Amino acid sequence: MKLTLKIWRQNGPSANGSFESHTLDGVSEDSSFLEMLDQLNEQLLGEGKEPVAFDHDCREGICGTCSLTINGHAHGPEDSTTTCQLHMRKFRDGETVTIEPFRANAFPIVRDLIVDRSAFDRIVQSGGFISVRTGSAPDGNAIPISKVDADNAMDAAACIGCGACVASCKNASAMLFTSAKAAHLNLLPQGQAEKDERAINMVKTMDEAGFGNCRNYGECSAACPKDISLDYIAKLNRDHAKAKLKKIFS
Amino acid sequence: MFSSSLGKKYLMALSGLVLIGFVFVHMAGNLQVLLGQAQINAYAHSLQSLPWFILWGSRLFLLAAVLIHAFTAYSLIVENRKARPNLNEIEATKRAGLASLRMGLTGSILLAFIVFHLLHFTIRTIYPEYAEMMTTVGSPDGTEIHDAFLMVISGFKHDVISVFYVVAMGMLCAHLSHGFSSVFQSLGLRSESWRAKIDLVAIGYAWIIFVGFSIVPLSVLAQKHGIYEFYDPSFFSQEVEEKSLSTNLLNNES
Ligand code: HEM
Ligand code: SF4
Ligand code: FES
């Protein structure tokens, strides 16, 4: 395949960025999107040019490191797929592919296509944990958990923290990520003791990081490679309201 | 409670819920125009004769709901622009429909409509003569009451005004088709199994509101242009307006 790549280049956090176009020939349909970018970088190095900086790690869809907004879609147009799992056969020969970083005020650009997603870490640090006595390991099955709750918590825990929800949201809201991280603990018995604090603190940190307000478009869930459901947002809305009301009336 | 991003969502949803309830009652009230002069005049008169604290209490409550709703909406929009200052080269969507993406636009048109509508039929500054239209038809005790029926017919005889009303109701329909289900999401009152049902009810509700409100101006226009006779045709002659006004002036002088 032969592709025209329109790529965002930016030298540093405070530099002005702009698009740069490159033609790449001989792309295999079987290569992944990141392998295609590797091929481009080989070509750029050969021409004595600076390679394009992009994030990646596991390349098997489980770490959440890869990003990229491809033709306007976070992780590209395929549903339920990370950029590293996206294959070039999903594109047409001769197509122009536009590649941009995940854009949000709370995700400052580090260089080219790499953004700083540490705001997500701060949200998790403010409540995405349970404080337990760390003695000997507890007996398996010592705490009964219903199948429904276990499944639900597991579905929420599938979030890999990639940030596609923020990038796909016209309002740069981090509600899908935050609600998934809150829900997988709020649904389980171990998470109950800190449930109210968790809901309030995680939302507070999320607001302070400069993410936008959710307006229920549903774009986040549509872009999410792990299909995190909008239900978790509804649940965080509910848990947060309850926690606030309890605080007011106690 | 209301300072966080979610707090604003609760305010949006609660004020939206008040307005959702109000538009239904208002629509049901309006439909009595179709039942004729006596019916709608009696209804309008009964509302006007409510004890002042109930009448003004409800008016202030609704005004507060609209102000909170609009103010919160604009502050959400401004904050969200700041949260995503740089647009993508390509802005694509996968799931969001136009109704949800354009809530600010439909809402702003509604705000303009609400102001116009109040000046038109409630405060009556646009056509001050509407306030002078009096009749005994529909009066509970034979004394003169305001002729709401004549006002509505006269009001909707203007093509441009009627079309504006119908367009505004189209905006309301779009606003509600997203807003109604959005309330349940914002307040955390829905789950995956309910989502599809609530979305269906929302669309049904939005259309009922659209048809229910539009039927009155459309029926007046239809009769004016000779398509179908819904009402007593004498209300469509110019004289009836003038007669109502002149008898009223005579009454005032005597
Ligand atoms: C008859 C009047 C109105 C009704 C019945 C109504 C109803 C609603 C409802 C139910 C929602 C959903 C709330 C939620 O997301 O939980 C909503 C959202 C919204 N309304 Fe209204 N509204 C009305 C007037 C207005 C006006 C005058 C504005 C203009 C400023 C406006 C702007 C908005 C916006 C921007 C949203 C989106 C908020 C969001 O998605 O988070 N609305 N409206
Ligand atoms: S919710 Fe989905 S899109 Fe958002 S960070 Fe988690 S995995 Fe990525
Ligand atoms: S590189 Fe790990 S998920 Fe894509």
Which amino acid does the sequence have at A93?
D
CB contact under 8 Å between A214 and B9, yes or no, is yes
User: What mean pLDDT is predicted for residues B37-60?
Assistant: 97
At residue B15, does pLDDT exceed 90?
yes
- Alpha-carbon gap, residue A137 to A130, rounded angstroms: 15
Residues of chain B neighbouring A233 (CB-CB closer than 8 A): 185
d(CA A165, CA A179): 11
B18 has pLDDT over 70: yes
- Residue A18: closest C-alpha in chain B: B89
Contact A237 B87 (CB under 8 A): no
Q: What is the pLDDT of residues A10-37, one digit of tens each?
A: 999 999 999 999 999 999 999 999 999 9
Distance from CA of A134 to the nearest CA of B (A): 34
State whether the beta carbon of B12 lies less than 6 angstroms from ligand 1.
yes
Which of A69, A98, A237 lies closest to B9 in CB terms? Answer: A237
The full length of chain B comes to 254
Mean pLDDT of B183-207: 93
B3 band by pLDDT with thresholds 50, 70 and 90? confident
Instruction: Please name which ligand lies nearest the alpha carbon of B102.
Output: 1
Q: Which two tokens stand for residue B242?
A: 């003038």
Q: State which of B4, B5, B12, B205 you would mutate to test the pocket of ligand 1, scoring each by most atoms of that ligand within 8 A of its C-beta.
A: B12
Q: Of B220, B205, B213, B102, which Cα lies nearest the Cα of B159?
A: B220
pLDDT tens for each residue of B105-130: 999 999 999 999 999 999 999 999 99
Rounded to the nearest angstrom, the gap between the alpha carbon of residue A248 and the centroid of all alpha carbons in its chain is: 34
Partner residue opposite A222 with nearest CB, options B76, B95, B191: B95
Q: Model confidence at B25, in pLDDT bands (50, 70, 90)?
A: very high
Instruction: Identify whether the C-beta of residue A221 lies closer than 8 Å to the C-beta of residue A230.
Output: yes
Percent of chain B residues past pLDDT 90, beyond the cut:
87
Q: Are strands A96-100 and A3-9 parallel, antiparallel or unpaired?
A: parallel
Average pLDDT, stretch B78-86? 95
pLDDT the model gives residue A137: 77
Q: Which pLDDT belongs to residue B249?
A: 52
Q: How far apart are CA B218 and CA A230, in angstroms?
A: 40
pLDDT over threshold 60, residue A55: yes
**Interface mutation target, options B1, B5, B100, B181, chain A, most CBs of A under 10 Å:** B5
Tell if the CB–CB gap between A171 and B80 is shorter than 8 Å.
Answer: yes
pLDDT score of B243 more than 70: no
Assigned token pair, A123: 């949200």
> Helix H segments across chain A?
33-46, 118-125, 147-157, 164-168, 175-186, 195-208, 219-223, 231-248
What is the distance between the alpha carbons of residues B31 and A182, in angstroms, rounded to a whole number? Answer: 48
> Among 2.60.120, 1.20.140, 3.30.70, 1.20.1300, what is the CATH number of B2-253?
1.20.1300
CA–centroid distance, B182 to ligand 1, in Å, is 9
Domain ranges of chain A: 3-110, 118-249
Give me the residue from A212, A216, A240 closest to B79, CB to CB: A212
Per-chain mean pLDDT for chain B: 93
Give the pLDDT of residue B241.
65
Which of these ranges, A120-134, B75-89, B164-178, has the smallest mean pLDDT?
A120-134
Search chain A and give the residue with CA nearest B75: A213
pLDDT band at B188 (very low <50, low <70, confident <90, very high): very high
For domain A3-110, the question of CATH label 3.10.20.30 is answered with: yes
Residue nearest to atom 37 of ligand 1 (CA): B103
Taking CB atoms and an 8 Å limit, are A237 and B186 in contact across chains? yes
Q: How far apart are CA A162 and CA A41, in angstroms?
A: 23
Q: Find tokens 């006596």 and name the residue.
A: B38
Q: What is the pLDDT of residue B111?
A: 98
pTM of the model: 0.93
**Closest Cα partner for B185 from B200, B195, B175?**
B195
CA proximity to A178, closest of A225, A125, A130: A125
Has residue B242 got a pLDDT over 80? Answer: no
User: In degrees, to the nearest 5, what angle opens at C-alpha A179 toward C-alphas B77 and B19?
Assistant: 45
Interface test with chain B among A217, A230, A246, by most B beta carbons within 10 Å: A217
Beta bridge partners of A114: A111
Distance from C-alpha of B156 to C-alpha of B160, rounded to nearest angstrom? 9
| Cα(B116)–Cα(B19) distance, integer angstroms | 17
Its ipTM equals 0.92
CA distance A70 to chain B (A): 9
pLDDT at B2: 79
- Quick: pLDDT tens for A155-190: 999 999 999 999 999 999 999 999 999 999 999 999
CA of B83 to the centre of ligand 2 (A): 18
The alpha carbon dihedral of A174, A175, A178, A184 has a sign of: negative
Q: Say if ligand 2 is within 6 A of residue A61 CB.
A: no
Q: Count other C-beta atoms under 10 Å from residue B170's C-beta.
A: 16
If interface means Cβ-Cβ distance under 8 Å, which residues of chain B face chain A? 1, 4-10, 76, 79-80, 82-96, 100-101, 103, 178, 182, 184-192, 195
pLDDT surpasses 70 at B248: no
Measured from the CB, is residue A104 less than 6 Å from ligand 2? no
Q: Report the b/e string of B209-219 with b at 16+ CB within 10 A.
A: bbebbbbbbbb
Q: How far is CA A37 from the centre of its chain?
A: 20
3-state secondary structure of B134: strand
- Quick check: B253 pLDDT over 60? no
CA–CA distance from B238 to each of B148, B163, B220, B233 (Å)? 17, 21, 14, 11
Residue of chain A whose alpha carbon sits nearest to that of B188 = A234
pLDDT tens digits for range B135-160: 999 999 999 999 999 999 999 999 99
Residue A82 has pLDDT above 70, yes or no: yes
Min Cα distance B109 → chain A (Å) is: 19
**Does the beta-carbon distance from A239 to B188 stay under 8 Å?**
yes
Interchain CB contacts (distance < 8 Å): A and B? 139
- Indicate the CATH number for domain A118-249: 1.10.1060.10
Neighbours of B202 (CB within 10 A): 21
B103: chain A residues, CB-CB within 8 Å: 215
Cα angle for residues B100, B103, B106 (degrees, 5° grid) = 130
Residue A7 β-bridge partners: A20, A99
Ranking A44-53, A170-179, B87-96 by mean pLDDT, the lowest is B87-96
Beta strands in chain B (DSSP E): 134-135, 145-146
Nearest alpha carbon to residue B179 among A217, A194, A26, A73: A217
The C-alpha torsion from B208 through B210 and B215 to B218, rounded to 10°, is -160
- Measured in degrees and rounded to the nearest 5, phi and psi for residue A246 equal -60, -40
